[in-house]
A and B are shown apart, each in its own frame.
Chain A
Amino acid sequence: MSPELAAAGVALAAVMLYAMFGGADFGGGIWSLLAWGPRKQEQRLALEKAIGPVWETNHVWLILLVVTLFVVFPTAYAVIFEALYVPLFIALLGIVARGAAFAFRHYGQRESRLARQSLQWFSWASVATPFTFGLVIGAVTGGHIKVDGSRVLSGPFAGWLGPFALMCGLIGLLTCAFLAAAYMVPRTEGALQEDFRRRAIAASLALGVATTVAIPVAAADADAFASHLDDARVVAAMAATALLGLAALWALWTRRARLAPPLAAATVAGVVGAWGLAQHPYLLANALTYREAAAERITVVSFLVALPIGSLILVPSLWLLYWTFSRDTLRGEEIAH
């Protein structure tokens, strides 16, 4: 495996991890917005408590992706960001509004007007941001963006407003909703747990339908993506993902609470992985391969050397963080705010 391919793998892993952790985070905001029923406030409180200790780190995966792109694939970084600057700016506005609003609500005074308004900002931004990221993913994959070398030829609206991109936006939203609800099942009890279980089942069914419908949509609107769908590895990845999704649904259905989160996470990783395989060898479909976009080899190698060294510090720290806070259920003591 060439260093460039390994680095592309790191970028794909960053997307996967961001989807698995950041996605659940966004999903928390989505369910906060959609909270209904007699336990509306309890649902919101439970979501906020689960997100609280981990939300900063969840979003560092996005930074890892951006950094990997501009260190190892500077041409791709420049081209993709220039081509898709409108949706990326919108996603960025969403990230800022959402993060700030969550912090105000979480660290500020609970009953203030500021806290109530922050909840609104937080919830709407939690919908807008993953949807927009979905559009970007769709645009990067769809093949509508035209470039010449590192110059972008297509217009500012190319690629991210078509049927396929919109479908990807929807899948983005459903992914987040599915993950958040599934993660909440073992962290809650009783009626509240039942609320999240039902939401997780509904979201997983919707996600299954959406990913299936995406295939004919791709055939009609995204040749670049559709042309890879007969690749054996892609088909295998999609089949494995479908099985994982069914397993997650089974775990939810049969109330195996502890199994639901890892299976849900694995399903989402599978979706992203299948997408990544279908992208190979392109970073921007039909326009820029990872080889063409790569920096000089010494940079790529230095990056790959720094990665495991950094991980020596990061992995145990992350483990400590998740281990410390994953044992909480709602009965747990009040956490600091």
Chain B
Amino acid sequence: MEFDTLLSARALMGLSLVFHTFFTPLGIGLPLLLFIAEGLALKTGDQRYRQLARAWTPVVGLLFAVGAVSGTVLSFELGLLWPRFMEYAGGIIGMPFSLEGFAFFTEAIFLAIYIYGWNRMSAFAHWLVTIPIVISSAISAVFVISANAWMNTPEGFRVVDGQVVDVNPWDAMFNAAWLHEAIHGTLASYVVTGFSVAAVYAWLLWRKKPAVNARLGLQLAMAVAAVSIPLQIVAGDFAARRVAELQPVKFAAMEGQYETERGAPLRIGGIPVDGETRFAIEIPKLLSYLGYRDFNAEVVGLNAVPKEDRPNELLTHLSFQVMVGAGFALLFIGGWYWWAWWRRRRAEPGWLPGRWLSWALAASGFLSFAALQAGWFVTEFGRQPWVVYGYLRTSEGVTERDGILVFFVLFTLLYVVISAALIVALLKWPHGPKQPARLPGAAGKEAEGVA
């Protein structure tokens, strides 16, 4: 395989997106945890909740900062790597991007007020500040996802003699795919945040490392996880049905369906190669039902379109399997945790998860990220070879400049350095019980709530 401009550009864009997508879900989910923790502190008067929020604050700041710069990268790379695509699409899907700019701006402002406002405002005012952060971060996700949805189901324009005319930016924004993508994508952030925060606490507790109110932190994170994961599975089913309807070829690639058939089976696992999905567990007729709510519905196969118009079925199918598999594993782990807690809560007030559950919880952090990244892979690989589905091929959107490979290497190196530094910073984080006292606004001041 030759690393030509197209492949280099796709690799660099993919790398930047993957890197960015490690931070965005936490930037959306952690504010919700802050909102809940500070709200509970106000409601119950239990200052341990507030100490939790305080302990999370620098982590939120760090992750948001890296997320913000990696997002700037994407806004540049749209022009640096895909100038022809942006020339085509900028005026059509610019609207959600500009609205996202406002939402992100609001988020950055209130996050700064939150982080630096610990000593300057009452506990109630500080809790109020979390509300615009929660809302604007979720809205900004919805806007960005809406732009991606447009690439999958382009609307709001016509093409006459190769020229884009009759643009309606609002139709483009509220295209057919925006709703299911927005719901599925935003919920993913809460799933990831819940399970990854829980994973950190489970690991700290199991290794008997000192941490501020770790048991309470675990409980809160698992509450968010346990609410969001079943919702996410329902949203995923909705999304799959919409894809089956709107992008049947992508659906076929996700499921490894080659032939068009009625009563198509659901394939669990399997490797689609050479026109056949091998080694899959097949459940008769279930795919037809899941896609169209009819056991005998016709499912379009990959063979219905010429090979050059198909996505890479291997990557799309495997990503889809990883996402679904990880999602159900998370559902199981969430259920296990709350079942174990519910059984032991009276007998053992200081109950902690046992060895196997601790390991499962620690793994859930990785599984949630695997599900999230794989989900994006499904969306992006499944759209190929189109950048604007049915209108503009990815190869037509790419830059005419060469040497992109050099920048791919440079960015890879930079991301490796940042990731390593981030891991060092997070591992060396002061989890110790002294931390809240060393941070400003020590307990005495906070109890008055008017620091």
- B439 & A336 in contact (Cβ 8 Å cutoff): yes
Q: Does B40 make an interface contact (CB < 8 A)?
A: no
Considering the complex, give the chain B residue whose CB is closest to the CB of A60.
B105
Q: If A78-B84, A103-B62, A336-B57 touch, does A66 touch B76 (CB 8 Å cutoff)?
A: yes
At the interface, yes or no: B297 with Cβ under 8 Å from chain A?
no
Q: Whole-angstrom distance from the CB of B137 to the nearest CB of chain A?
A: 13
A70 within 8 A of partner (CB) = yes
Q: A53-B115, A93-B414 are in contact. Are A114 and B421 (CB under 8 A)?
A: yes
Chain A residues whose CB sits within 8 angstroms of the CB of B70 once the complex forms: 96
Main SS at interface, chain A: helix
A residues less than 8 Å from B75 (CB atoms): 63, 66-67
Q: Which residues in chain B, 323-365, are within 8 Å of chain A measured between CB atoms? A: none
Q: Does B401 contact A (CB under 8 A)?
A: yes
A112 at the interface (CB under 8 A from B): yes
- Among the interface residues A59, A71, A335, which one has the most CB atoms of the partner chain B within 10 A? A71
B390 at the interface (CB under 8 A from A): no
Mask, A315-337, CB within 8 Å of B = 1, is: 00110110011000000011111
Q: Using known A-B contacts A74-B94, A89-B80, A336-B118, determine if residue A298 contacts B168 with beta carbons closer than 8 Å.
A: yes
A313 to B108, CA, bound (A): 13
**Which residue of the partner chain A has the closest CB to B407?**
A89
Check if B78 is an interface residue, CB within 8 A of chain A: yes
Q: How many residues of A contact B (CB 8 A)?
A: 72
Q: Is A216 close to B, CB under 8 A?
A: no
C-alpha spacing A67/B94, complex, angstroms = 8
Min CB distance, A330 to chain B, in Å?
Answer: 15
Residues of A within 8 A of B76 (CB): 66, 81, 88, 92
Q: Mark A289-321, 1 if CB is under 8 A from B, else 0.
A: 000000110110011001000100110011011
Residue contact A100 to B418, C-beta cutoff 8 Å: yes
The CA of A80 and the CA of B403, in the complex, are separated in Å by: 17
Q: A77-B90, A299-B169 are in contact. Are A107 and B109 (CB under 8 A)?
A: no
Cα separation A64 to B99 with both chains bound (whole Å): 10
Q: Which of A62, A78, A296 has the most CB of B within 10 A?
A: A78
Residues in B with CB closer than 8 Å to A60 are: 101, 104-105, 108
Complex Cα–Cα for A92 and B102 (A): 21
Scoring A residues 46 to 74 as 1 if CB is less than 8 Å from chain B, else 0, what string do you get? 00000011101101101110111111101
Contact present for A54 and B112 (CB under 8 Å): yes
Contact A303:B94 (CB < 8 A) given known A57-B109, A100-B418, A320-B113:
yes
Residue pair A313, B83 in contact (C-beta under 8 Å): no
Pick the contact of A114 from B97, B401, B425 — CB < 8 Å? B425
Q: Is the CB of B425 within 8 A of A85?
A: no
Q: State whether A295 touches B90 (Cβ < 8 A).
A: yes
Which of chain A's residues have a CB closer than 8 A to the CB of B106? 313-314, 317
Name the contact of B102 in the complex, choosing from A81, A295, A310 (C-beta under 8 A): A310
Known: A57-B112, A88-B76, A104-B425. A313 touches B102 (CB 8 A): yes
B91 touches A77 (CB 8 A): no
Q: Which B residues are CB-close (under 8 A) to A97?
A: 414
Known contacts A56-B111, A92-B76, A336-B440; A71/B116 CB under 8 A: no
Q: Does A194 contact B (CB under 8 A)?
A: no
Number of A-B contacts (CB under 8 A): 228
A109 at the interface (CB under 8 A from B): yes
B72 touches A (CB below 8 Å): yes
- How far apart are the CA atoms of A114 and B420 in the complex, in Å? 10
Contact indicator B403/A92 (Cβ below 8 Å): no
**Cβ of B56 to closest chain A Cβ, rounded Å:** 12
Secondary structure dominating the interface of B: helix
Whether the Cβ atoms of A67 and B98 lie closer than 8 Å is yes
Pick the residue among B79, B97, B108 that contacts A71 (CB under 8 A).
B97
Q: Which residues of B contact A70 (CB under 8 A)?
A: 78-79, 86, 90, 94, 97
- Among A112-126, those with CB < 8 Å from B are 112, 114, 118
Select which of A64, A107, A299 is within 8 A of B61 by beta carbon: A107
Closest to B410 in A: A93
Q: List chain A residues, Cβ under 8 A from B322.
A: none
Interface size class of B (residues with CB under 8 A): 35 or more
> In the complex, what distance in Å separates the CA atom of A72 from the CA atom of B101?
14
Question: How many angstroms from the CA of A298 to the CA of B421 in the assembled complex?
Answer: 46
In the bound complex, residues from chain A placing their C-beta under 8 Å from that of B58 are 107, 336-337
User: With a CB–CB cut-off of 8 A, which chain B residues contact A71?
Assistant: 90-91, 94-95, 97-98
- Residues on B with beta carbons closer than 8 Å to the beta carbon of A150: 87
A81 vs B86: C-alpha distance in the bound complex, in angstroms?
A: 11
* B124 part of interface (Cβ distance < 8 Å): no
Q: Which residues of B contact A75 (CB under 8 A)?
A: 87
In the bound complex, residues from chain B placing their C-beta under 8 Å from that of A303 are 94-95, 98
Instruction: Enumerate chain A residues within 8 angstroms of B78, measured Cβ to Cβ.
Output: 70
Chain B proximity of A44: nearest CB distance (Å): 19
- Residues 396 to 427 of chain B near chain A (Cβ within 8 Å): 399-401, 403, 407, 410-411, 414, 418, 421-422, 424-425
- The residues of A that contact B45 with a CB separation of less than 8 Å are none
B209 within 8 Å of A (CB atoms): no
Q: How far is the CB of B181 from chain A (nearest CB, A)?
A: 20
**Complex alpha-carbon distance, A106 and B63, angstroms:** 12
Q: Give the distance in Å from the alpha carbon of A192 to the alpha carbon of B71 in the complex.
A: 36
Residue of B nearest to A100 (CB): B418
Q: How far is the CA of A324 from the CA of B75 in the complex (A)?
A: 30
B110 at the interface (CB under 8 A from A): yes
Contact of B425 among A77, A108, A320 (CB under 8 A): A108
Give B389 Cβ to nearest chain A Cβ, in Å: 19
- B-side contacts of A114, CB under 8 Å: 421, 424-425, 428
CA distance A68 to B407 in the complex (A): 25
A68 touches B98 (CB 8 A): yes
A193–B254 CA distance with the chains assembled, in angstroms: 63
Give A138 to B99 CA distance when docked, in angstroms: 30
| Complex-state Cα separation, A88 to B403, whole angstroms | 14
What A residues does B95 contact at CB under 8 A?
A: 71, 299, 302-303, 306
Q: A residues 121-140 with Cβ under 8 Å of B?
A: none
Are B109 and A318 in touch, CB under 8 angstroms? yes
What CA separation (Å) do A140 and B164 show in the bound complex? 27
> Which A residues are CB-close (under 8 A) to B220?
none
5 contacts between A and B (CB under 8 A): A77-B90, A92-B76, A107-B58, A109-B425, A150-B87
The 10 closest A-B pairs by CB, nearest first: A295-B91, A71-B94, A74-B90, A81-B79, A99-B69, A103-B65, A78-B83, A310-B102, A78-B87, A107-B62
Known pairs A63-B75, A85-B399, A303-B94; list 12 more (Cβ under 8 Å).
Answer: A63-B71, A70-B94, A78-B83, A78-B84, A93-B414, A97-B414, A103-B61, A107-B59, A107-B62, A295-B90, A299-B92, A335-B116
List the interface of chain B (C-beta within 8 A of A). 57-59, 61-62, 64-66, 68-73, 75-80, 83-84, 86-92, 94-95, 97-99, 101-102, 104-106, 108-113, 115-120, 132, 164-165, 167-170, 399-401, 403, 407, 410-411, 414, 418, 421-422, 424-425, 428, 430, 439-440
